[in-house]
């Protein structure tokens, strides 16, 4: 089991640069992405990737991104369960572009591959008045937050089952249908 964890962590570290390159192609910058036990003023109070059933009540997920301000474009994939774009459907071209709308999909997966929770959320970056300038580029910050219960289910957050298995879980975050981040945490008794 220890060897498997080492292999997974090594694989995650090796794949991280690919996710960064993928993020640049999408036009956004991935910031801090973590699991934690609580938030203070909208930010993680701590960062932890192991949770004990007797000690913790929830697992919080926090992903911070910067999205380009202005006319920069990000591709939007046709996701039939989110929306059907008539242009993509009838033309077959599938290269509809949208510069302001983002769809976040968050999937929590157990050690045996079972879906624990799935939440989909749409965000329009024009709804935010916050801006950040980095290297002469202006961005709109956004934090995607979700949490699940360890002993209590939160259906409003897409939780379908409790994290009742002991071991290494992972959380996949998709932005506009493309994998943006993978985060790991471990459940212990």
Q: How far is it, in rounded angstroms, from Cα 124 to Cα 101?
A: 4
Among candidate residues 169, 165, 145, 168, the one with its CA nearest the CA of residue 157 = 145
Helix (H, G, I), strand (E, B) or coil at 151: coil
Instruction: Confirm if 28 and 66 have CB atoms less than 8 A apart.
Output: yes
The total number of structural domains in the chain stands at: 1
Among candidate residues 80, 76, 105, 71, the one with its CA nearest the CA of residue 93 = 76
**Confidence (pLDDT) at 185:** 98
Q: How far is it, in rounded angstroms, from Cα 6 to Cα 3?
A: 5
**110, 34, 18, 126: CA torsion to nearest 10:** 110
Of 4-18, 34-48, 113-127, give the lowest mean pLDDT range: 4-18
Whether the per-residue pLDDT at 74 is higher than 60: the answer is: no
Span 77-81, mean pLDDT? 43
50 Cβ contact list (under 8 Å, min separation 6): 185, 186, 187, 188
Domain containing residue 98:
2-188
Q: How far is it, in rounded angstroms, from Cα 53 to Cα 105?
A: 26
Q: The domain spanning residue 117 has which CATH number? A: 2.60.40.3880
Strand 167-175 and strand 74-75: pairing? Answer: unpaired
**Confidence (pLDDT) at 39:** 93
pTM comes to 0.74
pLDDT tens digits, 91-148? 556 554 567 889 999 999 999 999 999 999 999 998 888 999 998 899 999 999 999 9
């Amino acid at each position: 089991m220890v060897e498997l964890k080492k292999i997974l962590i090594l694989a995650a570290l090796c794949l991280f640069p690919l996710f960064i390159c993928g993020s640049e192609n999408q036009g956004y910058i991935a910031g801090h992405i973590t699991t934690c036990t609580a938030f203070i003023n909208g930010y993680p109070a701590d960062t932890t990737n192991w949770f004990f059933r007797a000690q913790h009540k929830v697992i919080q997920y926090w992903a911070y991104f910067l999205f380009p301000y202005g006319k920069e474009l990000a591709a939007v994939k046709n996701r039939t369960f989110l929306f059907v774009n008539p242009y993509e459907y009838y033309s077959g071209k599938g290269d509809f572009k949208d510069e302001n709308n983002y769809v976040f999909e968050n999937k929590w997966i157990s050690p045996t591959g079972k879906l624990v929770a799935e939440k989909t959320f749409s965000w329009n970056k024009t709804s935010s008045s916050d801006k950040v300038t980095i290297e002469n580029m202006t961005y709109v910050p956004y934090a995607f937050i979700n949490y699940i219960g360890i002993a209590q289910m939160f259906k409003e957050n897409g939780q379908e089952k409790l994290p009742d298995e002991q071991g290494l879980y992972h959380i996949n975050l998709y932005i506009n249908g493309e994998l943006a981040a993978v985060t790991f945490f471990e459940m212990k008794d």
